[in-house]
């Protein structure tokens, strides 16, 4: 017995904020001292680069951590467990926390520490993992989640006068989905909601002349289900969904995807013929389907950059960026940020931006300048001129103005064209349940070479 279980023993679990504050700390076996948190944090911060190794060792203690929601989720162990089990467990813990607390942030963890301790108590016993299933845990968890709901007029406007369908009742804010699954008895009515996210991540590398060099799309369909009990849910995808790589496609409106994976609970008996996923979701968030498309972008890349870099005076670099958004005119891109590496030793920058809501700042630490555009309508073209003062500028350092990376969010867009045709609950339930869908494409990495 020991041989089997020993590999899953966890000594401690703790959650740290990005600044190293102790949010949650639980010691299961008393094997390691409490200073291990500080040891871990020193090890993490001592490493340069964004991605410290997931598994780290200090003396005979091993730390395994994941980062979710800006927090460190760490498990320490003295034995030699399968790291993937622990990673999976930590991810699951984070997901559960999110389900129960509504959202995942330092604030929500702070406010719901009691709930999280309760969760941990049920999930892990003396270092042995017991269960991570939402359905099981639902029976044991009693604590109410505390949510900080800022009062906003927006919520009021959501209430249709005399039951009239207002514009708002067609749209739900993005925060609507981030509420705890165990909502208080008070607002139970009318909140049988299902949220479906179709999220695609774009990884694009573009050459200097707008040539697409690499383009991958990774997408997933996520369900967040607030129904107390649901027998079966049928999700219809586009009927013209092709899976598998083929070299040339006609202009049929087919959506093509290289490969896809499904959650283990998904029944696929109708998938081949009707592209319908059948799933019995438990409460909380689940990734139903993941898919990816490699080396192919069914739509043109959303942004094109036309840069020019010149040496102006002796110690000044002139960076002129022209950015065009190739989305259809009706849609917009949100939270666009452009990061341009600047030569080492840049001290100050002056800028000329085309509208006041844009911001730009020089980050000498990262040797980069950051240009942020909160809203970028499709078809528009923005330009910006940056004059960066670099003492001791040489012509070689012009070359340091390297590849531009962008991050953005494209609402109501899927690059592959994947859509949810319908979402049906069977047996045909009350009309009370509300279904929401959102499509987002965001940048995983979007790099444009200069």
Partner 1 sequence: MAHFDTEYQRLEASYSDSPPGEENLLVHVPEGSKSPWHHIENLDLFFQRISFLHYNEQFDYVYNLHQKNGFTCMLLGEIFELVQLVFVVAFTVFLVNCVDYDILFANKFVNHTDSSKVTLPDAILPVDVCSARIRDNVFVIFIILISGVFWLHRLVKFMYNICCYWEIRSFFINALKMSMADLPYFTWQEVQARIVEIQKEHQICIHKKELTELDIYHRILRFKNYMVAMVNKSLLPVRFHLPLLGDTVFYTRGLKYNFELIFFWGPGSLFENEWSLKAEYKRGGNRLELADRLSSRILWIGIANLLLCPVILIWQILYAFFSHTEVIKREPGSLGARCWSLYGRFYLRHFNELDHELMSRLSKGYKASSKYMNCFMSPLLTVVAKNVAFFAGSILAVLIALTIYDEDVLAVEHVLSSITLLGVCITICRSFIPDKHMVFCPEQLLKVILAHIHYMPDHWQGNAHRYETRDEFAQLFQYKAVFILEELLSPVITPFILIFCLRRKSLEIIDFFRNFTVDVVGVGDTCSFAQMDVRQHGHPAWMSAGKTEASIYQQAEDGKTELSLMHFAITNPHWQPPRESTHFISQLKEKVHREASGGQQGILTDNAVFTSTHSLQSDSEPHSLIANLLMGPPSLSSLHLGREGSINPVSVGASEGASALRSLSPISSSIHLRGSYPSARLPRPDQPALAASRAMTGSGTDAQTISSGSSAWEGQLTSMVLSEYASTEMSIHALYMHEMHKQQSQGELSRHTWYRQESDESSESVNEDLESTRNFPRSSTFPCTTTPHQEGAAHHSSRQQRRHGGTTDSVPGSSRVQRTPRVPLGGWSEETRTGRHHDTVPEEGSEDELPPRVHKVRSVTWATVGSF
Per CB under 8 A, the list member of 85, 435, 445, 450 interacting with partner 1 is: 435
| Number of other residues whose CB lies within 10 A of the CB of residue 198 | 21
Cα separation, 295 vs 306, in Å, equals 23
Q: Mask of contacts with partner 1, 251-280, x by CB under 8 A?
A: xxx---------------------------
Q: Mask of contacts with partner 1, 170-189, x by CB under 8 A?
A: xxxxx-xx------------
Q: Stretches 108-116, 141-149, 258-266, 427-435: which one binds partner 1 (CB under 8 A)? A: 427-435
Which residues, in sequence order, are bridge partners of residue 376? 333
Per CB under 8 A, the list member of 327, 338, 342, 349 interacting with partner 1 is: 327
121 vs 259, which CB is nearer to partner 1? 259
Contacts of 47 (CB under 8 A, 6+ apart): 53
Cα separation, 339 vs 372, in Å, equals 9
| Residues 420 and 392 sit within 8 Å (Cβ to Cβ) | no
31 vs 193, which CB is nearer to partner 1? 193
Q: Does 415 bind partner 1 (CB under 8 A)?
A: yes
Considering only residues 4 to 63 of the shown chain, the ones binding partner 1 according to CB under 8 A are none
Q: Does 408 bind partner 1 (CB under 8 A)?
A: no
Strands, E assignment, 2-53: 12-16, 22-27
Cα separation, 183 vs 137, in Å, equals 15
Cα separation, 277 vs 236, in Å, equals 6
Q: How far is the CB of 445 from partner 1 (least distance, A)?
A: 13
344 vs 412, which CB is nearer to partner 1? 412
Lookup: tokens for 101: 């607390």
| CB neighbour burial string for 104-121, b if at least 16 within 10 angstroms, e if fewer | bbbebbebbeebbebbbe
Q: Site for partner 1 (CB under 8 A): how many residues? A: 65
By the criterion CB under 8 A, which residues form the site for partner 1? 68-69, 98, 104, 169-174, 176-177, 195-196, 199, 209-210, 236, 239-240, 246-253, 298-300, 304, 306, 326-328, 330-331, 334-335, 379, 409, 411-417, 419-424, 428, 431, 434-440, 442
């Amino acid at each position: 017995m020991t041989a089997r279980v020993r590999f899953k023993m966890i000594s401690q679990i703790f959650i740290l904020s990005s600044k190293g504050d102790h949010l949650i700390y639980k010691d299961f076996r008393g094997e390691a001292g409490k200073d291990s948190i500080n040891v871990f944090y020193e090890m993490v911060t001592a490493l340069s680069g964004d991605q410290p190794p997931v598994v780290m060792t200090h003396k005979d203690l091993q730390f395994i951590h994941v980062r979710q929601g800006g927090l460190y989720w760490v498990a320490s162990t003295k034995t030699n467990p399968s790291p993937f089990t622990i990673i999976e467990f930590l991810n699951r813990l984070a997901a559960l926390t999110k389900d129960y607390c509504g959202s995942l942030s330092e604030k929500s963890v702070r406010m719901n520490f009691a709930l999280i301790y309760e969760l941990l108590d049920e999930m892990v016993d003396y270092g042995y993992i017991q269960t991570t299933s939402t359905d099981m845990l639902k029976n044991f968890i009693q604590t109410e989640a505390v949510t900080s709901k800022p009062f906003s007029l927006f919520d009021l406007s959501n209430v249709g006068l005399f039951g009239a369908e207002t514009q708002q009742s067609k749209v739900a804010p993005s925060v609507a989905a981030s509420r705890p699954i165990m909502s208080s008895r008070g607002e139970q009515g009318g909140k049988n909601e299902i949220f479906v996210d179709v999220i695609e991540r774009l990884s694009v590398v573009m050459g200097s002349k707008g040539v697409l060099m690499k383009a991958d799309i990774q997408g997933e369909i996520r369900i967040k289900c607030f129904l107390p009990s649901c027998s079966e849910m049928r999700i219809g995808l586009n009927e013209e969904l092709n899976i598998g790589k083929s070299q040339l496609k006609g202009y049929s409106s087919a959506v093509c995807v290289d490969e896809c994976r499904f959650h283990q609970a998904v029944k696929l008996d109708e998938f081949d013929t009707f592209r319908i996923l059948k799933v019995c979701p438990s409460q909380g968030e689940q990734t139903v389907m993941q898919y990816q498309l490699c080396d192919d972008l069914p739509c043109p890349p959303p942004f094109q950059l036309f840069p020019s870099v010149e040496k102006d005076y002796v110690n000044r670099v002139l960076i002129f960026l022209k950015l065009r958004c190739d989305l259809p005119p009706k849609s917009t891109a949100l939270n666009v940020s452009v990061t341009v590496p600047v030569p080492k030793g840049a001290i100050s920058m002056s800028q000329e931006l085309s509208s006041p809501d844009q911001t730009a700042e020089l980050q000498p630490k990262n040797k980069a300048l950051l240009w942020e555009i909160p809203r970028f309508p499709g078809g528009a073209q923005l330009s910006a001129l940056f004059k960066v003062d670099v003492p001791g500028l040489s012509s070689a350092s012009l070359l340091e103005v390297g590849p531009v990376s962008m991050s953005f969010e494209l609402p109501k867009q899927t690059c592959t064209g994947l859509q949810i045709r319908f979402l049906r609950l069977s047996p045909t339930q009350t009309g009370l349940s509300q279904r929401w869908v959102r499509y987002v494409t965001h940048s995983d990495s979007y790099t444009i070479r200069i």
